[in-house]
Structures are given as C-alpha cells and as structure tokens.
Amino acid sequence: MGVRDRIPRMKARAFDLAEDRARQEWARAVVGRWNAGLASDELPLWSPSLRAALLAGMPFLEVLCPACVTIGAVDLRRVDRHPEAAVASLVFGLTCSRCGPSAPMPRLVGLHALPASRRA
C-alpha cells in the first residue's frame, strides 16, 4: 500500500503552524511596545528589526516631517535592506518630498498594518 507517513506529516505541519503563530505573536508584542514608546513622545532606545515588523503584519512605517507637518508611510516590503536592520535606521535615508533636500530629519510615528490613508 505504500509508506504511511500522513499522520507524522500532519503532526509536523501542526507543530510548524503553532511555532509560526508564536513567532507572530512575539513580533506583535515587540512592535506594540515600540509603538507605545513612540506615542509617549519619548524615542525608545531600541527599534524592532524589519523582519519583526513584517512578521507582526505591520509593514507600514509612518513618518512625520516636522517642517511641513506631513505624515507619510513607507512600505517596508519594498525597502532593500537586510531583514535584521533596525526600523529606525531607515530615517537617515528619508527626506520630505515637499520640503526638498534641506528638510529636517523626519520623526517616526509608528508601525501599522495599513497606511493612514486606508485606515480611516
């Protein structure tokens, strides 16, 4: 009749799914703590990795231009950086398109599942 490996494969798949869910919950907790730190107007001393943000299902980094008070969103899925790079390290490469090259450094607002334009 053949090799009977269906049950062991099902058990292994269930274990992998549970492990993936645990990783996702851990990443959501990390991103939640970081967002809470940013909301308290106190820049946290740490930043989650791009991988953690993507695992948490929050691929949009919202940034605020302090000069023109415009909020923009960066889709982290399209950023060409190492997955273990800190989310906060992206701020050095961002400039406001309205203010031009002499714009001040943007302020990080938080990580979200959807950009602000689609959350309303």
Q: Which amino acid is at 29?
A: A
Long-range contacts of 6-12 (CB under 8 A, 24+ apart): none
pLDDT in tens, 10-51: 777 777 778 888 899 999 999 999 999 999 977 789 999 999
pLDDT at residue number 11: 77
Q: Does the pLDDT at position 81 exceed 80? A: yes
**How distant is the alpha carbon of residue 83 from its chain centre?**
11
pLDDT at residue number 2: 55
Q: What is the C-alpha to C-alpha distance for residues 98 and 37, in angstroms, rounded to an integer?
A: 28
Higher pLDDT, residue 22 or 100: 22
pLDDT band with cut points at 50, 70 and 90 for residue 5: confident
pLDDT at residue number 27: 96
Domain boundaries along the sequence of the chain = 6-119
